[in-house]
Structure 1
């Protein structure tokens, strides 16, 4: 899980979200991106306080050994980190959370705003919970009904389409050494040209 938070975010909420993911297992990793050292310290303090009451504290402590709070100097830096890391879960706990969505190209699922706890997504929001882990969000989306459907591409090409695209297709066919492909296109182009 990766969380982006501004100084308006509630440090206790951010800490709770990080801990909720960290309790999954000793190999879990959680990351917080923020711009304020004081906010980072407040979240760290909230983590320390909340962990004392949790039954899976031993697992969480091991998970936190390979987790991080990263101080960033700009929005661009945060976006770059998110898209390179490709988190399974991304929480954007900022006042301007919705403004960030268009720049995120690699995340399994995104939670927006202060009250958007990832735990809600686990149990009640109806969102998909079969998500790409270990950075696979760079290449894959969460499981959806589309994964169980068979689709057929249907292509209708008009004479105008052949006129506009035929020469390019013919050139590509010749580059590949597929003369019959090129011929199938050339015959149509010739027919359009009255040859």
Structure 2
């Protein structure tokens, strides 16, 4: 299998990452709007194509999601309409409210990415928010003014290994956290998917947090 310069196998997603990375960088240099959307679309296309076969076998059914929590953990519950009655058919992996870490005591939880954006992040989806972003593809004054909540769609589409590569190319002003970990702040307040940034080094988490606050 072919490998890129970093030594990773060249997969469909990794190819899309480098395409998206190029669009993001070009948009920043040319101050071109809209390239951030193209970069994010490239990442989504890679993910959707890899899941297409599995999705074609899935029978659509009525379902709804509800956030739930206790004193220590937060999760989402899925109910499906079965024989005219709503039945609980699964819950997502619980995440600790303080540390942001996933519960490790059992298996069989649903992937949090299955939860619709409007349930995970509020009444307005991240795509709706990003549609009004200015200067997409580079540090944006509007994103900076809202302290990177959320950052660009392209940035939120990257996995931990891809973020590790990209973060080496920027030098944003430091931005600290108080009373919580970077992980908690990134996933709770900056809308990063916990599964996508799982395994990200602490130093990279700090720099990603700084990048979000700087308007990327």
Q: Please tell me the TM-score bracket, short chain as reference.
A: under 0.3
Question: Which structure's residues are more often helix, by fraction?
Answer: 1
Q: Normalised by the size of structure 2, how large is the TM-score?
A: 0.23
Structure whose CA Rg is larger: 1
Q: Normalised by the size of structure 1, how large is the TM-score?
A: 0.25
